[in-house]
Structure 1
Amino acid sequence: MQSAARPRFVRAMTIYAIGDIHGHLDLLRVAHDRVEADRAREGTRDAPLVHVGDLVDRGPDSRGVIALMMALVAQDDRVTVLKGNHDNMFVLFAQDIPTEDPHLRRDLSWLHPRLGGQDTLASYGIDTSLPMAEVHRQTRAMVPEAHIAFLDALPLSLVHDGVLAVHAGIRPGVPLDRQTPQDLFWIRGGFLDDVTDHGALVVHGHTTVINVELHPNRLAIDTGAAYGGPLSAVAIEGRDVYLLTDAGRKPVRPLG
């Protein structure tokens, strides 16, 4: 009589995600290296990689980040880059007539030191101490049109195997095709404090956390690269999440 077959463990499909970059090309290269090392160890060569947006602002090399991401997306169909609110503010400023994101407070602008637009333009050699009209003229002349077109065309979400990746979050209870860009770019209140099971695990950045946070319904991965913190890369398998480090995977313990 043939013995019963041993049960075979089947691991959930893997998806990699990287948090808000904010112009830190050096940290982005390290995060990519960690993803590639994990692919080699775990045999996940075909697994997708999503970046949750905010390529630009506050860091020293937004231009370099955009150039790298453009090249990567063009040559690697596993890679998705989402549009963040800072990416969108750059696009709006670079139009024929510069505009501000309507979500911003009226006393702020993209070039306010708190938001980091000055750092982005400086990476293109633009002198932001000049009058605004001249700053805009230089932006139009010195920022490659391909960079703005790339940012403008970025998707706002990615759905893959039980994961919904967005920049900031979602409006709970609203179908994805009815979510507004403003919510996907900016939402905090009404999302971060919501405990609804969204069906998919919502993977997001935008709101800085000290360490990657795995909640029952969402995964927060913006660990503050914009403010001197690390740029986190994670591997997601179902509801299991692993922080990628130079020493390998580190399980992220669920909260709540």
Structure 2
Amino acid sequence: MEERKARTVCCIGDVHGYISKLQSLWSNLESCIPRLDFDSALIIFLGDYCDRGPDTRLVIDFLVSLPFRYPRQKHVFLSGNHDFAFAAFLGAIPQPQDGSEFREGWKEYEMSEEREGWYREEGYQGMHLQGRRWAGKITVRFNTIKGTEYQGSIYDAEPTFKSYGVPHGSSDLLRAVPEEHKKFLTDLVWVHEEDNVCIETSDGVKTGRLIAVHAGLQKGKKVEEQLSSLKAKDTRIPKVEALSGRKSVWDIPEELTEPPTIVVSGHHGKLHIDGLRLIIDEGGGLENNPVAAIILPGLKIVRDTDPLVKQ
């Protein structure tokens, strides 16, 4: 990495349907970044806009409006695993390029179908596995890992249905979601690469490549093959590890250590900054947790709860 003039980059963690948190975080970012820098910033949303919180519809309205309200900014909207599942239910993901059917991906996980109560109503026959899981009706009430009650499905999708005015699991959602929102979900990218991103290190400000992906990249698999699959939105895969993995995608693959690459993600329900590995998901979709963002090059953390003066 070579030193060069810094550009402002904001990476925003998982919003999960909380419009008031998103609005407050955005106001705080505007307040703490110089106006010219903010107006020309690269804004990367790290995914998971829906589920858990009550206002998915309003969150997507807000995101859709940004390119019109801030035309000089560059906006990147990554797909999270929740957004992918929401899009899969709506039919807003591409068909497999090899001509295979989504139902072929059900088999690997069919032992979970009864417990997770997979969706079996209108359109399910041609639906990707994650769409069926997202709109399903889980048969257990308590998520022992998170210590919270499930909201409708394994994805906590009930609040998203309600935000569009329909009951959880209802096929009416297929007609209730506006076309503008379907297009937004269709256009989400699974990975974003950006060159000439600056970051402060113990050796000074360095400039290099940044890769943003919701959960991370797998160690032990060739990075370029992973990137190629993610850019192509390979929907043959019933569970995309880069969007939904945990331990397998936590660290930076060794391939990316020379030249050093920044890898930024959300997803993990933690705020974790370790060298060039940035995980920005302090909220985790929980009501009482803040939504956070990180500003590069200085690694400044901004939260919706920060007591900053609003403009």
TM-score with structure 2 length normalisation?
Answer: 0.65
Give distance in 1, aligned partners of 2:47 and 2:179: 19
Residues 1:74 and 1:166: Cα distance change in structure 2 (over 3 Å): farther
Q: What is the aligned-residue RMSD (CA, Å)?
A: 2.7
2:134 match:
110
Note if 1:123 corresponds to 2:146: no
Provide Cα deviations, 1:94-139, integer angstroms capped at 9, x if missing partner.
239xx798697544321343412111010011022xxx5xx11x11
Residues 1:185 and 1:10: Cα distance change in structure 2 (over 3 Å): closer
One-letter identity of the residue aligned with 1:79: H
Q: Which runs of 5+ in 1 are unaligned?
A: 1-8, 249-256
Residues 1:244 and 1:49: Cα distance change in structure 2 (over 3 Å): same
2:241–2:249 CA contact under 8 A, matched in 1: no
1:156 match:
190
1:54 match:
48
1:171–1:179 CA contact under 8 A, matched in 2: no
For residue 32 of structure 2, give the secondary structure of its aligned residue in structure 1.
Answer: helix
Residue 74 of structure 1 and its aligned partner are, at CA, apart by 4.1
Q: Which runs of 5+ in 2 are unaligned?
A: 93-101, 117-132, 139-150, 198-208, 234-239
Residues 1:174 and 1:144: Cα distance change in structure 2 (over 3 Å): same
Identical residues among aligned pairs (%): 27
For residue 224 of structure 1, give the secondary structure of its aligned residue in structure 2.
Answer: coil
One-letter identity of the residue aligned with 2:210: V
One-letter identity of the residue aligned with 2:134: W
Provide Cα deviations, 1:171-220, integer angstroms capped at 9, x if missing partner.
234115334451321122222155636232111001111xx211124101
Note if 1:66 corresponds to 2:60: yes
Give distance in 1, aligned partners of 2:191 and 2:164: 28
2:17–2:50 CA contact under 8 A, matched in 1: yes
1:187 match:
245
1:177 match:
227
Residue 158 of structure 1 and its aligned partner are, at CA, apart by 2.1
2:74 match:
78
2:274 match:
215
Residues 1:217 and 1:10: Cα distance change in structure 2 (over 3 Å): closer
1:195–1:217 CA contact under 8 A, matched in 2: no
Aligned length: 228
Give distance in 1, aligned partners of 2:223 and 2:4: 33
Give distance in 1, aligned partners of 2:216 and 2:45: 14
Residue 11 of structure 1 and its aligned partner are, at CA, apart by 5.4
2:10–2:295 CA contact under 8 A, matched in 1: yes
2:294 match:
234
